[in-house]
Structure 1
Amino acid sequence: MQFTVETIGDDVAVVKGDGRLTMVAAPEFRAVVRREIEAGRARVVVDLGAVTFMDSSGLGALVGCLKTARQAGGDLRIAAPNDQVMMILRLSNLDRVFKAHESPEVAFHA
């Protein structure tokens, strides 16, 4: 899995994943988000538009990153999840925590 980071304004980091967010990719995902938060961008949008699959390890990484962002005074939001990712969120009842936004640009403005 590959991760890229863009910014919206000065304080919102958009972390885009491309591939499968599984136990193999979860540590790198956590590290990418942590670096952005440490750089002063505690508001993070995870763009899931190109994430083809997510397992429980990926879900755990999302929850851990949410906790890290909130401890830094920010928040973590998700954008553009596919049906499989939404199914995992619904089955775990985390769709109540992670509201899906249609795009990263509106995640903090909706």
Structure 2
Amino acid sequence: MAENREAAGHGTLTVVRTDADGITVLGLEGEIDHQSVGGLTRALVPADSAVGQRVVIDLSRVTFMDSSGVNALIAAFQAAGNAGGWLRLVVVRGAVMRTLQLVGLDTVIPFHPTLEDALAPTRPDPGKS
């Protein structure tokens, strides 16, 4: 397991990256805006070049997100999918959730109420074949 901490921008965003069992967990705290989004995008770069990167981004301690953060999440989701992996979000209520719902991200990227839920293996839907 590896853990990296990085304060981005003007101390407005803290990113804690943990890599374990083939899943990267990014714990974010603070605000994601055009000044701090670089910390998030740097943390999204795979620790190795393995295909099929699996990423969970924990937004439960994010207090603000503008379009820079939304764009970074969309790009990360597309990159993970293109490489045969996945990206999941742990989200909170409030302004960040409203922002993500307003742009429709909740219909594209899987949202989970807790980190444990996001880390759980996906189960096939019994109604689908």
Normalising by structure 1, report the TM-score.
Answer: 0.86
Higher helix residue share? 1
Asked if 1:51 corresponds to 2:62, the answer is: yes
1:74 to 70, 81, 85: 85
Q: 2:74 — aligned with what?
A: 63
Paired residue total: 109
Query: Deviation of residue 28 (structure 1)?
Result: 2.0
**Which consecutive aligned stretches of 4+ in structure 1 deviate over 4 angstroms post-superposition?**
none
**Contact 1:5–1:15 under 8 Å retained in 2:** yes
- Contact 2:90/2:111 (CA < 8 Å) preserved in 1? yes
Instruction: Provide the rounded CA distance (Å) in 2 between the counterparts of 1:104 and 1:36.
Output: 20
Consecutive unaligned residues of structure 1, counting only runs of 5 or more, are: none
RMSD of aligned Cα (Å): 1.9
User: Where in structure 2 are there 5+ consecutive unaligned residues?
Assistant: 1-12, 123-129
TM-score (structure 2 length as normaliser): 0.75
Structure number with bigger Rg: 2
Compare 61-70 and 95-104 and name the one that shifted more: 95-104
- Please tell me whether the aligned partners of residues 11 and 40 of structure 1 are also in contact (alpha carbons under 8 angstroms): no
Quick one: which amino acid aligns to residue 19 of structure 2? T
Change (3 A) 1:40 1:4: farther
User: 1-side partners of 2:38 and 2:52: how far apart?
Assistant: 19
Task: Identify which of 32, 35, 48 aligns with 2:43.
Answer: 32
Q: Residue 57 of structure 2: SS of its match in structure 1?
A: strand
- Structure 2 residue corresponding to 1:21, chosen from 26, 32, 44: 32
